[in-house]
Amino acid sequence: MAKPAPDSGALPQERQQRILAKLRNDGRVVAAELAAIFDVSEDSIRRDLRELAAMGLCKRVYGGALLPTATPSPLKQRRSEHSARKQALARKAAELVRPGQTLLIDTGTTNVAIASVLPTGARLTVITNAPHIAQLLLDREGFDVLLIGGRVDASIGGTIGAQAVEQVRRVRADLCFPGACAIDAAHGLWGFDSEEALFKRAMIEASDETVVVATDDKLGAVATHQVAELSRVQHLVVEHSADRAARTAFTARGVAVHRADSA
């Protein structure tokens, strides 16, 4: 979709309709970019987004807005979505694992794929909050598995909350794989749920290195709760189709970017 011509004289209602059209086309909008496109202040854009949100036409998040979302798809449904792409990401992520390491693996369908391709016979210890991942590894030989307890959130397929966070703070890992809702080179890793974001943050603090594995739609996206600054992320695994400019932006910030093979 072509950028609207800069137009500081547009009426707020006209600008909001054009913002809404861009949102429906792109799935998200960023306030700073909209301010430049329409040649108005970010305060004006934020006011537009507040009014659109009040009408239920968008969901405001840090730095911009998303299309309003319904209840997340059931976990079983998400497991079957884009499986080939997730397997390609998982194989590249598994290359970062070394024998004898302790891994912290978050819940999430991409992380399930990672668990399924971890090398056997590598004396790996896996700590996870996802019962499905724990069971998957118990069905394979050669893994020591520690399941983090606490309240199980059915929508994410894992434990979160104070008990889970406290348990993570009492362990130490070589690598962690926090699930990614959104990541960008300027603001780091973000999530949509405050409790889930707190758990991911505890994972990162308990680990020597962090590996974020992200499908294309997560790169440059916006979400509600910050998990970590980008300085806490050492590795980013992206799809083969990931935008070159996006990859370069992360590399420039000191993140090792690993590009998966084509799915």
Do 86 and 21 reside in the same domain of the chain?
no
Long-range pairs of 240-245 with CB within 8 A, sequence gap ≥ 24: 240/88, 241/216, 242/216, 243/216, 243/219
- If you ran DSSP here, which 8-state letter would residue 230 be given? G
What is the helix, strand, coil percentage profile of the chain, to 5?
40, 25, 35
Do 27 and 81 reside in the same domain of the chain?
no
Do 86 and 197 reside in the same domain of the chain?
yes
Can you tell me the distance from the alpha carbon of 187 to that of 218, in angstroms, rounded to the nearest whole number?
13
Do 93 and 21 reside in the same domain of the chain?
no
Can you tell me the distance from the alpha carbon of 170 to that of 250, in angstroms, rounded to the nearest whole number?
31
Place of tokens 């397929």: 157
Give me the CATH number covering residue 28. 1.10.10.10
Q: Output the pLDDT for position 23.
A: 86
Place of tokens 């979505």: 81
Do 55 and 145 reside in the same domain of the chain?
no
Give me the CATH number covering residue 184. 3.40.50.1360
Decide if 129 contacts 198 (C-beta within 8 A): no
Do 90 and 44 reside in the same domain of the chain?
no
Q: Output the pLDDT for position 3.
A: 45
Q: Output the pLDDT for position 76.
A: 57
Q: H-helix or E-strand containing 214?
A: strand 207-214
Decide if 57 contacts 20 (C-beta within 8 A): yes
Instruction: Give how many domains the chain has, as a whole number.
Output: 2
Q: Output the pLDDT for position 10.
A: 66
Q: Output the pLDDT for position 173.
A: 98
Do 36 and 123 reside in the same domain of the chain?
no
The answer to whether residue 7 is domain-embedded is no
The answer to whether residue 201 is domain-embedded is yes
The residue range of the domain holding 115 is 75-259
Q: Output the pLDDT for position 66.
A: 84
The answer to whether residue 3 is domain-embedded is no
Per-residue pLDDT of the chain (263 residues; tens, 9 = 90+): 444 444 555 678 889 989 988 887 787 899 999 999 999 999 999 999 988 887 778 888 878 888 775 444 555 555 555 688 999 999 999 999 999 999 999 999 999 999 999 999 999 999 999 999 999 999 998 999 999 999 998 888 999 999 999 999 999 999 999 999 889 898 899 988 889 999 999 999 999 999 999 998 888 777 778 999 999 999 999 999 998 988 999 999 999 999 999 87
List, in order, residues 6 or more apart from 55 with CB less than 8 Å away: none
Do 252 and 195 reside in the same domain of the chain?
yes
